[in-house]
Amino acid sequence: MRADERAPRWRIGVIGGSGLYDFAGLEDAQEIAVSSPFGEPSGPVTIGRIGQIDFVFLPRHGKGHRLPPHEINARANIDVLKRCGVTDVLAISAIGSLREDLAPGSFVAVDQFIDRTHGRVDTFFGDGLVAHVSMADPVCARLAALAANAAEAAGAVVHRGGCYLAMQGPQFSTRAESRMYRGWGADVIGMTALPEARLAREAELPYALLGMVTDYDSWREGEHVEVADVLRVMAANTALARETIARLAEILPIERVPSPIDHALDGAIMTARSQRDQVLAAKLGAIASRALRD
């Protein structure tokens, strides 16, 4: 199957965040290294299945959590998932809470983002090949609902919907920043969802993010984020995340109905054919060959 073709069946790419560095339970699991013209991904992917659903797993921070948030090559990660024939991407992330009711240990199916990162390469396109995709609704509602259903079936407390504030890191927020983000209407905070979600949209991959709440960030008076507390909650959340993926395999319909996001690049490429940079077009072979060919 060519990278730009879509199979009628699901092939779910799972990006594992903090604490989720391997994918136990996959049948016929095989770890393979996949190269990308956009540099080195976080590590090799693990391909396998659960029941009748194919999965491709990639640990965002690499095995052993060797990569800090600002050094993750999100372009290479999304590119290699696309090269593996992934149809949809489910990101699992540790997050901090900016709301009292989003308690540590609960899950949040995020549906919006605010970007406070800087210096990260956030597009596959550039000089000689310009494209503008819509990010009004950055998350695939269908996949987010399925992931939330799976998490609830696994026994998690799930909040459906929430605005994720993407901060630069690797330090945690100051109290002033945390309170400002609450005033902006952000519900949770993390360091890795952007530019990941933007790049998934450019790659025409429906994307959903299931956040695992580990702490209350630093907006509460007298409290601050401690790595030890995060790791303790994260251990329990990680077990739930693995069970969530197993339940997702059970509830996904066998046939995948096409998503509008499968054609997110339709009408998005602005550069005239005669002016396109052919070197960049070649690098986009997995990401955009369908749109560049049409």
Return the C-alpha torsion angle 45, 268, 132, 184, nearest 10.
Answer: -80
Backbone angles phi, psi at 274, to 5 degrees: -70, -15
CA–CA distances in Å: residue 109 to residues 143, 191, 220, 240: 10, 16, 23, 14
Q: How far apart are CA 257 and CA 277, in angstroms?
A: 34
**Which of these, 135, 139, 146, lies nearest to 248 by C-alpha position?**
146
Give, in order, the Cα–Cα distances in Å from 214 to each of 37, 97, 233, 250: 35, 8, 5, 27
Cα separations in angstroms, 250 against 11, 29, 113: 14, 18, 29
Question: Which residues participate in catalysis according to the annotation?
Answer: 215, 217
d(CA 187, CA 68): 23
